[in-house]
Amino acid sequence: MKIRPGSQSTPQPPAVDGLAFILAWSYDRLDQDTVLQKLRSSINKLIESGACERAYFGKSRYRENFNILLAGGSKALVQIGAVDTVRQKGGIRIECNPAKFADGDAQQIHRVMRGLIGRREYNELMRRPLLNVVHFAVDIYHAALTRMLVRYDNAQRMSMMAKRVGKGGFIEGYNFGSVRSDYETTAYNKQQELVHAAILAIAQSSSSGFNDDPLKSNKIKQLKRVLEGPEIVRVEVRGKKMRGLPLWKLPQQTNRFARFHFADLSVAGIDLDPLIEKAFLAMCRQDGVKAALDAFKHTEHARKVHAFWRSHQATWWKPGELWLQACDALRETRMFPPEAFESPDSHAEKQPVKRRRAR
Cα separation, 25 vs 40, whole angstroms: 16
In this predicted model, what pLDDT tens digit does every residue of 216-265 receive, in sequence order?
A: 666 666 666 656 678 899 999 999 999 999 999 999 999 999 999 999 99
Whole-prediction pTM: 0.85
* Inter-residue contact 49 to 80 (CB < 8 Å): no
In the predicted structure, residue 359 carries a pLDDT above the cut 50: no
| Residue 132 CA from chain centroid, whole number | 12
**What burial class does residue 146 get, using C-beta atoms within 10 Å of its C-beta: 0-12 exposed, 13-18 middle, 19+ buried?**
middle
Q: Are 97 and 18 a contacting pair, CB within 8 Å?
A: yes
Question: pLDDT digits over 290-330, tens only?
Answer: 999 999 999 999 999 999 999 999 999 999 999 999 999 99
Torsion angle of the four alpha carbons 348, 349, 350, 354, in this order, in degrees rounded to the nearest 10: 80
Q: Which helix (H) or strand (E) is 202 found in, with range?
A: helix 190-207
pLDDT tens, residue by residue, 169-201: 667 888 887 778 899 999 998 876 666 565 666
